[in-house]
Amino acid sequence: MRKNSIKNTRINEEVLRELSGIIRGEIKDPRIHPMTSVVSVEVAPDLKTAKAYISVLGDEQAQKETLAGLRSAEGYIRRTLAKNVNLRNTPQITFIMDQSIEYGVKMSKLIDEVNQTRSADSDTSLEDA
């Protein structure tokens, strides 16, 4: 099975959907931040391992605590995933912190600052003329 096959894509989407539901509704660990979302999931073609990219809206301490909480609940998450998703093998999940949303917000702010300074510069150059 190729990595980008239709079957693998459907498995990734189904695992992502179930994983989001499990994290949002079933885990009661206080370390896990309420604004935690699963950005994407990559299940290996042999269904043995999966990488779950997690995004947490909060500071760095909240991100570390959420990652620790998810890693401690890994067994429960895997068992629940096995009940809800009918796969030949239930993958071993590795949680990875995804910084792409935070990076995008930072870049957007920088672009806005540059645009504001340019408009301010153009306003002063018009007044001088």
User: What's the pLDDT tens digit per position in 10-51?
Assistant: 999 999 999 999 999 888 889 998 888 899 999 999 989 999
> DSSP string of 53-74?
EEEESS-HHHHHHHHHHHHHTH
Has residue 1 got a pLDDT over 50? no
The answer to whether 98 and 55 have CB atoms below 8 angstroms apart is yes
Closest CA to 94 of 39, 42, 22: 42
> Looking at residue 123, what is its pLDDT?
66
Has residue 101 got a pLDDT over 80? no
> Looking at residue 79, what is its pLDDT?
93
Average pLDDT, the chain: 87
Residue percentage of the chain with pLDDT more than 90: 50
Angle at 39 between CA 9 and CA 100, to 5 degrees: 120
Beta-bridge partners for 94: 51
> Looking at residue 87, what is its pLDDT?
86
Token pair, residue 10, equals 């459907």
Residue 39 backbone phi and psi in degrees, to 5:
-80, -50
Query: 66: exposed, middle or buried (C-beta count within 10 Å: 0-12, 13-18, 19+)?
Result: buried
